[in-house]
Amino acid sequence: MGVKTRAHLALLLTTIIFGLHYTVAKNLMPVHFTPMQLIFLRLLFATTIFWIFQKLFVPEKVDKKDLVRLAILGFVGFAANQALFYEGLNLTSPVDASLIHILNPVLVLILASIIIREKITRYKLGGIFLGSAGALILILFGNPGSFNSSPLLGNILVTLNMVFYALYLVLLKPLVAKYHTSTILKWVSLFGFIFIIPFSANSMMGLRISEIDTFSWLSLGYIIIFCTFLAYILINFALKYVTASAISYYTYLQPVLATLTSVSVGMGTITLPKIIAAALIFTGVYLVNK
């Protein structure tokens, strides 16, 4: 199996992890955790795991000149990105949030072409067209009335979350060729955690640990281990072998997964428009990979 194939398999697994993340995180807020409590705990434990993992398996040092870039990545990729996502998800629905995330490939293409001069090919343009068409079908026919019933502020926050995530992917690209994935994530998570402390400290004071049930702790564990540690390692690994735009195209699969998740828990149904949308989305991903 070639490295590019492994990279795309890593991205597919990451997409599945993130697809389930919407429902898992939504079930935790706001009854068990506030958004800022959730992001604080996620970054606290994730940073600890990244540092231990890197210390044991990849004892690599970074140049001091790169710490500024890593700090910027920590802000846009962990602190701002995740805080906006949880605050937005707390106000809107998992399906709406996943649909808004289809903006990511377009944003990445624009930012990548400006910042790192990544070439936009006809295949990528074709992928944008088909993926966007599939996403539009999901928005208009897959969940009728969804956006009208969701708070506008939540949708705006999730949109801003996508802007920061797109910027993270583009700025991360030069560093993945220089450092090991775990080294980058060790520093990025640390800086992200430092940035989020002033905004979450007050909320953490109101956390009542004794009132949180076992299932909620297991859900938090899923977010920390799979959505943060494993997913980010897989993304950084894939970025070594595929473009930032190709990675962002896997975001098109998340609305499909969000829909399937809602169906599995009895919150939705599979309809013809959703099947057509899924076909278009998968075709779009195939074109951009070419």
DSSP H stretches of helix in 58-102 = 67-73, 80-91, 94-100
Rounded to the nearest 10 degrees, how much is the dihedral formed by the CA atoms of 114, 124, 282, 14? -30
- List, in order, residues 6 or more apart from 123 with CB less than 8 Å away: 287, 288, 290
The model's pLDDT over 95-144, given as tens digits with 9 standing for 90+, comes to 777 777 776 777 777 777 777 666 777 877 787 777 777 766 765 665 55
What is the pLDDT, as a whole number, of residue 52? 93
Give the pLDDT score at 220.
93
pLDDT band at 145 (very low <50, low <70, confident <90, very high): very low
Longest dimension (CA), the chain: 56
- On the question of pLDDT at 156 being above 70, the answer is yes
pLDDT at 150: 60
In DSSP notation, 209-263 reads GGG--HHHHHHHHHIIIIIIIIHHHHHHHHHTTS-HHHHHHGGGGHHHHHHHHHH
Q: Please determine, for residue 74, whether its predicted confidence score (pLDDT) is greater than 50.
A: yes
pLDDT at site 127:
76
Task: Look at residue 265 and tell me whether its pLDDT is greater than 70.
Answer: no
Across 4-8, 52-56, 203-207, 233-237, least confident range: 233-237
- The pLDDT confidence band at residue 34, using thresholds 50, 70 and 90, is very high
Q: Report whether pLDDT(208) > 70.
A: yes
Angle at CA 175, nearest 5°, toward 40 and 282? 80
Query: Cα dihedral sign for 5, 7, 9, 11?
Result: negative
Split at pLDDT 50, 70, 90, the class of 148 is very low
Q: How far apart are CA 40 and CA 204, in angstroms?
A: 8
pTM of the full predicted structure?
Answer: 0.78
Residue range 57-73, pLDDT digits in tens:
888 889 988 999 999 99
